[in-house]
Structure 1
Amino acid sequence: MAQFHAYENRNPASRKRYPYLLDIQSNLLGELRTTVVVPLCPVGIAESLRISHLNPSIEIDGERYIALTQELAGMERKRLGKAVHDLGLYRDRIIAAVDFLVTGI
């Protein structure tokens, strides 16, 4: 498991809305049973809900997704699907969104 990697959503009930889950937890906490994820939603579904500082736009294989930072959740690592994308390029935007969620600035 690696910070800022996107994983396939294995849950059939939510996969269409959230095809990817973005692991945002520090690699220093890799021994924990759980990790913190942010769901990624296709831009066509989430664009009207987007707050620019809170919901960065992320591109995966030419498709745009919105990081729904306000819906972050903890989940067991073993429930994550396969790691499919390294989104470290978006690190600053993702951290800024989490900061905005927690501090409002």
Structure 2
Amino acid sequence: MAQFDVYSLPGSDTLFVDLQSGAVDEYNTRLLAPLVPADPRLKPLRRVNRELRFNSRTYLFMPQLMSAVRTRDIGKSVGSIADQRDQITAALDVLFLGI
């Protein structure tokens, strides 16, 4: 498992991005945040709920809904959005630090 890998959890239609650094791989959990399909009816907080691209689709990053998930419940990665790391970390900075 790698930071910024994307997962589709068993029994869920939602995609999740792994936010956890590999520096703490010894834990049996990973910190995941959902990626929700972009929808004009949604009212995202633009600095937190960044638009991210995955498999030619646009998603909203929802870090305020992050959760620790047991690694045995995650399954295999369906891809990565590591190329959008700067957008993800900027959103987390706003969420946690207000900057």
Normalised by the size of structure 1, how large is the TM-score? 0.86
The structure carrying a bigger helix percent of its residues is: 1
Residue 37 of structure 2 aligns to which amino acid in structure 1?
P
Percent of aligned pairs sharing the same letter = 28
Q: Secondary structure at the match of 1:48?
A: coil
Q: 1:71 aligns with which of 65, 70, 78?
A: 65
CA contact (8 A) 1:47 1:66 kept: no
Mapped pair 1:52 → 2:42: no
Question: How many equivalent residue pairs?
Answer: 99
Instruction: Tell me the C-alpha RMSD between the 2 structures.
Output: 1.4
Moved over 4 A (4+): none
Q: Distance in 2 between matches of 1:6 and 1:37?
A: 9
TM-score, normalised by the number of residues in structure 2 = 0.91
In structure 2, do the counterparts of structure 1 residues 60 and 47 end up closer, same or farther at CA, with 3 Å as the change threshold? farther
List per-residue Cα deviations over 1:34-53 (Å, max 9, x = no partner).
11111111112x76231111
Which segments of 5 or more consecutive residues in structure 1 lack a partner in the other structure? none
| Post-superposition offset of 1:93 | 0.8
SS in 2 for 1:49: coil
* 1:43 aligned residue: 38
- Structure 2 unmatched ranges of 5 or more: none
